[in-house]
Structures are given as C-alpha cells and as structure tokens.
Amino acid sequence: MSHRKDPTFQSFIDIYKISNNAMEFANNFEQYVSSCLPAYIWIGLMFSLTLWGIMHVIVGTINIPFCPSRPMIPVFLIVMGCLYILWSMLRIYAFWPRSRADTLGVDLTCKALEGIMIIAKLVWLFSGKLKVAAS
C-alpha cells in the first residue's frame, strides 16, 4: 500500500483526487488540515474541550443530591467530564511543539494513549447509557 503525501494540496478536491482509498484519504486530509491550521489553534480547541469537560464535572457534582430518580446520571457526567479533560490534555501535549529528536517515541505513546482514551470513552458512553436507562 503506497501512501502519497503531498503537502501542496490546493483544495479538498485535490485530497480526494490523489487518494486511492479511505485510509490514504484520511492521512492526506489530516496532513492538509495540519498544514492549514497552526498548532496554537488546535491547542485552543483542546482547551475549549477541557472547559467542556470541567462543565460536565461541575454539573454532575452539583446535581448528585438532586437526582434521586436517576442517580447514575451525575456519576456518568462526572466520569465523562474527567475522560474529556484527560483526552484534551493528552492532545494538547501531542500538539505542543517539540524538538524533532524525541518525537517518534512521544508520538507513538500519545497515539496509543489516545486510542485507549477513545475506547474508554466509547465503553463508558454505552455502559452509561445502559446504566442510566436501567436505573
């Protein structure tokens, strides 16, 4: 499988035309978006995701005593907020500019931890849906 990486994409159509399959399209699209937006934009977006997670934790914590009919909803919000915060902090660390000497190991570790975080969020989302609906 050949991966064509061309940092000179002019538009979204160029990304689509040069990609042979979905995986190559995703890689080319990621490269295009990364070249268009500087790291501080991504870091700012991740800080906003951190604020979103903090709001989940605050709302869940405030509503623990006020939710006797569905007591798992605040717990679900608190844990999901913590997962958002951890994931956004991991992404901020991954986006932070570093010297090229240490990037391969750090990138692989960040990708592995990000995969674990995505799986944890999906598991918590589906198990939380079942627990909230059952309580």
Q: Residues 117-131: pLDDT tens digits? A: 889 989 988 888 787
Q: Are 53 and 82 within 8 A, CB to CB?
A: yes
Average pLDDT over residues 70-98: 87
pLDDT band at 3 (very low <50, low <70, confident <90, very high): very low
Phi/psi for 39 (5° steps) reads: -60, -35
pLDDT in tens, 29-45: 877 877 777 778 888 88
Q: Are 114 and 90 within 8 A, CB to CB?
A: yes
